Structure 1
Amino acid sequence: MSFQALDRQAPNSRAGASDLYRAVWRWHFYAGLLVLPFMITLAVTGALYLFDDQIDRIVHSDVKRVAVQPDRPLGAEQMVAAALTFQPGTAVKFTDPPAPDASAEVTVVAASGTRMAVNVDPYDGHVLGARPDQSTLMWTVRHLHSLRLFGPVARGIIEIVGGWSILLVGTGIYLWWPRQQVGGVVSVRGTPRRRVFWRDLHAVTGLAVGGFIVFLAITGMPWSNIWGGKVNEWANGSNFGYPSGVRVEVPMSGQKLHDTAPTAWSLEQAQIPESAPSTAAPIGLDAAVATFERLGLHPGFAVSLPTSATGVYSGSVYPDDLRRQRVVHLDQYSGEALVDMSYADYGPAGRWLEFGINTHMGQQFGLANKLLFLAVCAGIVLLAVSAAVMWWKRRPSGAMGVPPMPADPRVFRGLVAILLIGGILFPLTGLSLIVMLALDWLARRVTTRPRMA
């Protein structure tokens, strides 16, 4: 090959690289435009929820904390009776105090149908207060974080944000990739008055937290409507939602575990067994609690009470230590354990997903887990702020400042094809990608339309 031919190829190669850079930059811009506002909300609420127990015990100390007494705590039935005297209705759940200085909680369905959480001092039966169930500060933060507070349609945004966040990290790594520049790779140049400072700060911060963003996006997907719902069905498998090997050769009701109390993600579809018909009297809550304690359920377990002749006592607990997660259903007449399931009984997919969820929530590795993800949340906010400042400094007056289209449209089409593959994996993300493509095409048509003389 002649030197002249090589000279002709070099500009073409540089033009191709420039076109690819423009295409990636354009979609990085779009991903940021769509995702960053939600990522700020997710980062702030997620950072708060890392310390949910600690914050709730401070904010709601009047009902959550009690003075430790030398006396033995009252029986569960006495505490339920005290709660019902204070808040008439039907008791549906009793939550054992998780620590000696913590109150017990009785969930009561009032005559109006409202579920109320009544906190009781376990030493003297004094009712500390009542409020609507799941209305503490941290429950509100949790529902804000998952967008559950705004209904099922809004929860679909979680899947869209998760998919676009992964796209944001992938395109960001390409844009960050060193191309013989000096500085801006792992260091920050200039001062806050210069745009290069914010560009470098954005790039270096993205490098530090990008992998964590992908992890959080994937482990947050189980809470999405479409992707999360389908994967949940697949992870649970058949056999009434319990993995093979767990005893389920007993009659099952149509009620699912998540209908009675918050549960592990992998057990949401698990059906609740039925007690065998009997002429004997029910064993009672005190005997059920004693059985759960004898079986070794972690302190702080919740007991869902039977509300019919075939109902069961369902004990469940989901502490930070995954190995201590447990669900046990007792026949209300014989006290026999109909189903006894722990984390070790989950299927391989369920164990991996629960491990990811537990780490996502800052529980798996103790305080180190919480502090690491607190720093990640701060990094995400910094990413969003630096992106906004950088865009503000580079935008043309009176325009959005969308990065230019590549000169060769084939590069753009190739990139979109790759993005669509990701859209197939995450359906709502794929749908939003199609909408974004249509809007981008419309915007280009409007801006390139020839003006009338």
Structure 2
Amino acid sequence: MANSQTVGADHSSAAKNLSQKFYFAAWRWHFYAGLYVIPFLIMLAITGLSMMYISVFDGRDGEYVSVPVGETVQPIAVQTQAALEAMPGSTLVEWIGPKAEDRAAVVRVAVEGGNRMIAVDPYSADVVETWDRRAGWYDFLQDIHGTLLIGTTGDRMIEIAAGLAIVLVLTGLYLWWPRDDWKSAFVPRLAARGRALWKSLHAVVGVYISILLVLFLLSGLSWAGIWGERFVQAWSTFPAQKWEAVPLSDTTHAGHMNHGATKDVPWALEQTLMPESGSDAGLTGLPEGTPVTGDSIAALARALGYEGRFRIVFPRDDAGVYTINQDSMSNDSHCPTCDRTVHIDQFTGKILADVGFADYSLAGKSMAVGIALHEGDMGLWNIVLNTLFCLSVIFVCVSGVVMWVKRRPSRAGRLSAPPLPADLPFWKGAVLIGLFTSLAFPLVGITLLAVLALDVLLLSNLPLLKRAVS
């Protein structure tokens, strides 16, 4: 009987010891991931929140420029001609319809060195306002948000941060997972003081935002240069083969319609080739004999079901097409499932392609909704949710730093990282997880393997380095 009790006690002790080792290992990974991720998460939250409110109050493409309501709307040809005359030497690129009766139409023209936006009163065809396209505070913040203003290098750094943030969430949930008291896992212990209070608030707020944070990170990663563009987007793009017998150009939607870092095309279409004009292909669009102009294309758009604000992109050359587009990520509507892109042959008026939300792949549909959610494009509830979310992300980051400062010995010349458990079991499994992550998220996996190699192989042989990061 005594032997049985001893065996049971030994087994319980071994299980508890194993659990503690995993806890300290997860804490250590959580700590290291946080060192890199926290500055990026704070930057993303601040810039994202700022961009959302700039979009809400000022718009992105002049959607809030007001005009007095008149009796008769001038033809699109008259509106665009007024814009071209206001900008001598320019080339017509796009007409954007008013969002409401008391809003201006906006014409985009190409000039040497970029694009200009011209707000035109649709009733009088008077030019109301002009500005450089996407050269304001929103776009400056967007460049920081996406590339840190350093191009591809910044994109890769943010991609690593976003992937490691997922590791941060998973390890954080493991550390938070209630062992004894479920209430304390969901309700902060406000009676606590010092580091205990910060830890409780950090854990509870972190768990409440965890799912939304992962969704935001995945939608951001899906636009990143490696995992998004070369993996997920490449596998999930809209197949141009659906447009049977339609001649295709060698230019993608992203290359033809996007403007620098600005995304104007639904994610699922970015890597799909543009169709070309000049054949007999396509479905009936404009009635035979109808001149193909901006006004006839707008009439066709309304006949196809377009309502409210939509865009008409004009052909660039003899092979180009007219494109009718409406999507939520461009603030055309609050409905991502209503996104629609239609291409029209500039000579015959036939519909060469008609792509809506239902045509997207599962990843494309997820991104259409995810981007709208990410940007706060789906109405007041989305703006409130994103505001609370971004403030919570900032709080979790700041509270993590506060806990580290309170735990770190004063005047310690080291990081004071959580200790590496001795003889951690299944370390080979950790390597396999790192290899698997390398395949799913290449930059993140490579980073994890590098940190694992540093932690397990180098630190034991470099005492000074080990002390600095311990």
TM value normalised by structure 2: 0.85
Pick from 252, 257, 261 the counterpart of residue 260 of structure 1. 257
In structure 2, what is the Cα distance between the partners aligned to 1:182 and 1:348? 36
Partner residue, 2:41: 39
Aligned-partner residue type, residue 380 of structure 1: V
1:183 Cα deviation after fit: 7.3
Aligned-partner residue type, residue 136 of structure 2: T
Partner residue, 2:309: 300
1:360 Cα deviation after fit: 2.7
In structure 2, what is the Cα distance between the partners aligned to 1:450 and 1:286? 71
Deviates more, 1:318-327 or 1:145-154: 145-154
- Alignment of 1:376 onto 2:376: no
Q: 1:401 to 1:190 in 2, by over 3 A?
A: farther
- Alignment of 1:404 onto 2:413: no
Q: 1:195 to 1:347 in 2, by over 3 A?
A: closer
Deviates more, 1:177-186 or 1:371-380: 177-186
- Alignment of 1:392 onto 2:393: no
Superposed CA offset, 1:69-101 (max 9, x none): 232222222222221222221111111112222
- Alignment of 1:155 onto 2:158: no
In structure 2, what is the Cα distance between the partners aligned to 1:302 and 1:60? 11
1:428 Cα deviation after fit: 0.9
Superposed CA offset, 1:371-409 (max 9, x none): 222211111111001001000111122221111000213
RMSD: 2.8
Pick from 353, 364, 367 the counterpart of residue 367 of structure 2. 353
Q: 1:375 to 1:400 in 2, by over 3 A?
A: same
1:34 Cα deviation after fit: 1.4
Superposed CA offset, 1:318-354 (max 9, x none): 0321232111111212222221221122233422332
1:181 Cα deviation after fit: 5.9
Aligned-partner residue type, residue 34 of structure 2: G
- Alignment of 1:188 onto 2:188: yes
* Displacement over 4 Å in runs of 4+: 181-184, 190-193, 448-451
Tell which has more relative contact order, 1 or 2 (C-alpha 8 A, sep 6+): 1
Partner residue, 1:325: 339
Partner residue, 1:436: 451
In structure 1, what is the Cα distance between the partners aligned to 2:448 and 2:238? 31
* Identity across matched positions, percent: 33
**Per the alignment, in what secondary structure is the counterpart of residue 146 of structure 1?**
helix
In structure 2, what is the Cα distance between the partners aligned to 1:317 and 1:190? 48
Partner residue, 2:76: 76
Q: Confirm or deny: 8 A CA contact 1:60 1:136 kept in the other structure.
A: no
Pick from 3, 10, 13 the counterpart of residue 12 of structure 2. 10
Q: Confirm or deny: 8 A CA contact 2:48 2:145 kept in the other structure.
A: yes
Q: 1:301 to 1:7 in 2, by over 3 A?
A: same
Q: How many residues align?
A: 441
In structure 2, what is the Cα distance between the partners aligned to 1:60 and 1:193? 49
- Alignment of 1:200 onto 2:200: yes
Q: Confirm or deny: 8 A CA contact 2:147 2:155 kept in the other structure.
A: yes
Q: Confirm or deny: 8 A CA contact 1:222 1:228 kept in the other structure.
A: yes
1:167 Cα deviation after fit: 1.1
Q: 1:30 to 1:443 in 2, by over 3 A?
A: same
Partner residue, 2:436: 421
Pick from 266, 286, 297 the counterpart of residue 288 of structure 1. 297
1:281 Cα deviation after fit: 10
The answer for unaligned runs of 5 or more in structure 2 is 259-263, 281-288, 328-332
Deviates more, 1:345-354 or 1:186-195: 186-195
Deviates more, 1:29-38 or 1:306-315: 306-315
Q: 1:400 to 1:139 in 2, by over 3 A?
A: same
Superposed CA offset, 1:251-289 (max 9, x none): 1222222222411000112222222269x9962222222
1:290 Cα deviation after fit: 2.1
Partner residue, 1:121: 121
Q: 1:293 to 1:17 in 2, by over 3 A?
A: same
Superposed CA offset, 1:148-186 (max 9, x none): 743123212343222212211111111112233697423
Q: Confirm or deny: 8 A CA contact 1:305 1:312 kept in the other structure.
A: yes
In structure 1, what is the Cα distance between the partners aligned to 2:184 and 2:150? 40
Give the 5 Å matches for 1:222-233: 222-229=222-229, 230-233=231-234
1:237 Cα deviation after fit: 5.3
The answer for unaligned runs of 5 or more in structure 1 is none
**Per the alignment, in what secondary structure is the counterpart of residue 419 of structure 2?**
coil
Partner residue, 2:32: 30
Aligned-partner residue type, residue 204 of structure 1: V
Q: 1:444 to 1:182 in 2, by over 3 A?
A: farther
In structure 1, what is the Cα distance between the partners aligned to 2:70 and 2:219? 44
Partner residue, 2:101: 100
1:357 Cα deviation after fit: 2.8
1:426 Cα deviation after fit: 0.7
In structure 1, what is the Cα distance between the partners aligned to 2:154 and 2:212? 24
Give the 5 Å matches for 1:203-242: 203-229=203-229, 230-236=231-237, 238-240=239-241
1:419 Cα deviation after fit: 4.1
